[in-house]
Every structure is written in C-alpha cells, then in structure tokens.
Homo-oligomer: A and B are copies of this chain.
Amino acid sequence: MTTQTIIGTAQEVRQQIRSNKWRGVTSGVAPGYVQANLAILPKDLAFDFLLFCQRNPKPCPILEVIEPGNIEPILTAPGADIRTDASGYRVYENGQLTAEVDTIEEYWRDDLVSFLLGCSFSFETAMVEAGIPLRHQELGNNVGMFITNIQTTPAGVFSGPMVVSMRPVKREQVVRAVQVTSRFPATHGAPVHIGSPEDIGIKDISQPDFGDPVEIKDDEEPVFWACGVTPQAVALNCKPPLMITHTPGRMFITDGKDADYAVL
C-alpha cells in the first residue's frame, strides 16, 4: 500500500481503497468529485440527527442518508460499500475514540444509519478557479478551525456551538469569495461571518481549536465558513454508545461532480 496521491475517477479511487492498494489524505484526489464527511449512528439517534442536519444546513449539508443497515450509497455512489470505501475510519464508543481502522465491517450492525455530509473541498476548488488563493493549501497545511459562540439550532438530544473554518481573503476579493461559495450550498455554501473574530467568540485567531494556524495579512479579512467538524462535535457531545466517522482528511469520495451541486 502506498500513501502517494493518486489521480483517477471516484470509482477508480474507491476501488484502490477497497482493495487496500491506496489509502491516504483525499485532498486533491479524484479532482472534480464531491467528497463527503461520514457520520454513522444507531437508528434510535437517526431521526434527531437528521433533524439536526436539516435545521443546520450550513455546517451539516446532507449529500445522502443511507437507510438503517444498508451499506450502499445508492444516490451518490452506487456500487460502493460505506464500510470499506472511505480512506480511513474512526470508531467512537460512548463519546471516546476507541479505534482508528481501515474498514468497519467488524463494527457493522443492522441498525446503523450512515450520513454523508458535504465537505469544503468543493468550494475551495471553486475559489481557486476564481483566482482567490488559499494560503493553507499553498503551505500544504490544514485549514484553521475555531469553536464559536454561534449556537446551532438544537434538535432532540443534539445541540452545541458551530465550528467554523477561517480563510484569509484579500479585501478586494471578499465579495467574489461570497459569490463563488454561495453557489455551493451542498458543501457549506456562503460564509457565516466576515471580519472581527471577536464578534463570533474567537478570542485568539492565531490559535485555532483544530487544524493549523494561518497568517492574516494587512490587506486581508478573515472569512469564516461553517465547518463539517460541527456535526461530529455535536454528535459526540451526547456520547452515543457507538458512532463511526471518517478519519479527518480521509474522506469518502462520491460519484457526484462539483458542478452538479452548484446552484445558478
């Protein structure tokens, strides 16, 4: 098995992953295909979690929900197996990380419901194509993520603050950044905040809660987008007996194309 970046269609990459020939960070892999955050929960929590996602579409944009016990994402990746085709998995029991594994067949149960949620890779591609550079990408770093004082809309047992990602944008490009990302509501969409980090409860912009710090230059504004870490954080808050996610950065790659999810 190699961890070098590979290029191919979504189907080809998933086949490489399933056959254990490749497994790694999926940024830049299968370019143009929509990648998904994964959250797998027992059915007795599934209605509340689906409702939470429905009420909080910016941090939790639903690409697909697979019915209890089913393993095939029939809408976004027909033929795939949700237990083997993500690049890496994390298993949480009672809110604690208990395993990091290549496949989750041994954890599978008939009552598990799989949620595929949009990831920011799609709108980042659109920003770069629009000539808006992404500093964290250029430096080969992870984006900086922050816990805010913006409360999500609770649903059933799920509630908690929104996590955002921050990207510095030149003042003259801020309007364009709003326009470009607004076209991708299925992958977090328009920013939730522009400027003053303090306004959304971020005390020190140089100290992200997750990911890497990113410098903000004098001619730039910090621009904040709702982040896919939110649903995971919120779900783990209530310590479900079992929850399975992808390993950060190692997403499930769907057959959907970025362009198919763009509005207007």
Residues of A in contact with B (beta carbons under 8 Å apart)? 43, 46-47, 50-51, 54-55, 62, 65, 67, 75, 153, 155-156, 182, 263-264
Contact = CB atoms under 8 A, between A and B. Distances in A.
B155 A67 contact: yes
Contacts of A153: 75
Contacts of A155: 67
How many identical chains are in the complex? 2
Nearest to A179: B264
Given A51-B67, A54-B62, A54-B65, 10 more contacts: A46-B47, A47-B47, A47-B50, A50-B50, A50-B51, A50-B54, A51-B65, A67-B156, A182-B264, A264-B264
A62 B153 CA distance: 15
A54 B54 contact: yes
Nearest to A189: B263
Contact of A47 (B43, B62, B263): B43
Nearest to A44: B47
B62 A75 contact: no
Contacts of A55: 75
A67 B51 CA distance: 9
Nearest to A182: B264
A65 B182 CA distance: 25
Contacts of A50: 47, 50-51, 54
A264 B65 CA distance: 28
Nearest to A155: B67
Nearest to A54: B62
19 contacts: A43-B47, A46-B47, A47-B47, A47-B50, A50-B50, A50-B51, A50-B54, A51-B65, A51-B67, A54-B54, A54-B62, A54-B65, A55-B75, A67-B155, A67-B156, A75-B153, A182-B264, A263-B263, A264-B264
